[in-house]
Amino acid sequence: MRVLSGIQPTGRPHWGNYFGAIRQYIDLQNGNEAYYFIANLHALTTVRDAAQLRQNSHDAALDLLALGLDPNRATLFVQSDVPEVSELCWLLMSGASMGLLERCVSYKDKVSKGLPANVGLFTYPVLQAADILSYDAEVVPVGQDQVQHIEVCRDLAQSFNHHFGETFVVPKPRVLEASAKVPGTDGEKMSKSYDNAIEIFEPLKPQRKKIMRITTDSRPMEEAKEPEGDHLYQLFACFAEPPALAEMAAMYRRGGFGYGEVKKAIADAAEQYFAEPRAKREELAAQPEKVAEILADGASRARKKAGEVLLRAQMACGVKG
């Protein structure tokens, strides 16, 4: 099975990114042909600083490699290093209807909130479709909020195939586990947008302070509490082994504990869970030439496949004879 997904380099990954998506991407590299790219062209719709975009892209590569992406089992590359995708995007855009793109939630949400929406955001789903179709991807792991964009990709592929003959593999979305919704420091879903995120690789002391400041209710220590639905318990569950989690649940139901104990347990468990990736990231950060080599090799492999698909599409629609 050929799998593809992209990660926007718009900031450092947090716990929600990892448990909600990255961990599952990494699992999918086993036994599949996997392509993962750093979506720097997509990031241009919001990041308007060249140095920041370059640094974010490099950091994204470090983060993914440190968290377990294996370049020997998956193809990792930077989106802009495969220009064939942008050319395929135009072929798809020439047949994309305005109505299809106007219905996309990412665009509609910004417009409804009075926020500036550029042409890049409007045509974002077409470039995303080109990203997917360039590699004959069969499965695209996404969150529920991105399913609509995969449907747009399917519509564009099927329309092209209808007009010009069978050219593209029509992909299917694989919706990532809804159970992986990770609460932030305010108890709401963890998100950079809500300023409630705990970054995976932020320094340990500031991270621990952030954890200790997580919002809690005012129930007295002696009161028994139901663990299910409690955001501190949910955070601990992300990291804890079953015996430790069962012990924490029993403590909740007994009562007689302070939330500070739970926060300390979360901080300790998170530090241990990400200790190996932290060490690996530091090692990779000291070898920028190695990271550049991995990305260059990934781009070379990606271009080979994308070139084959682009030529197939060019021949089908008549821009090449």
Q: What is the pLDDT of residue 115?
A: 72
In a domain, 31, yes or no: yes
In a domain, 114, yes or no: yes
Q: What is the pLDDT of residue 194?
A: 86
In a domain, 14, yes or no: yes
The DSSP letter of residue 190 is P
Q: Would you say how long the chain is, in residues?
A: 321
Cα separations in angstroms, 86 against 133, 134, 208 = 12, 10, 43
Looking at the DSSP bridge assignments, the partners of residue 34 are 3, 74
Active site residue 263: no
pLDDT values of the chain reduced to their tens digit, one per residue, 321 residues: 999 999 999 889 999 999 989 999 999 999 999 999 999 999 999 899 999 999 999 999 999 999 999 999 999 999 999 999 999 999 999 999 999 999 998 788 878 878 778 999 899 999 999 999 999 999 999 888 789 999 999 999 999 999 999 999 999 999 887 545 799 999 999 988 789 999 999 999 999 999 999 999 988 888 999 999 899 999 999 999 999 999 999 999 999 999 999 999 999 999 999 999 999 999 999 999 999 999 999 999 999 999 999 999 999 999 998
Q: What is the pLDDT of residue 178?
A: 55
Q: What is the pLDDT of residue 117?
A: 81
Q: The domain that contains 129 carries what CATH number? A: 3.40.50.620
Check whether residue 47 and residue 106 sit in a common domain. yes
In a domain, 152, yes or no: yes
Check whether residue 259 and residue 297 sit in a common domain. no
Query: Alpha carbon 75 to chain centroid distance?
Result: 16
Q: The domain that contains 222 carries what CATH number? A: 1.10.240.10
pLDDT digits (tens, 9 = 90+) for 153-184: 999 999 999 999 999 999 999 988 754 579 99
* Structural domain span for residue 255: 202-273
- 3-state class (DSSP) for residue 12: coil
Residue 283 tokens read as 């090692």
Check whether residue 268 and residue 293 sit in a common domain. no
In a domain, 190, yes or no: no
Active site residue 113: no
Check whether residue 39 and residue 136 sit in a common domain. yes
Residue 2 tokens read as 């050929």
Active-site residue (options: 181, 192, 210, 264): 192
In a domain, 194, yes or no: no
Active site residue 305: no
Check whether residue 165 and residue 213 sit in a common domain. no
Active-site residue (options: 189, 210, 264, 280): 189
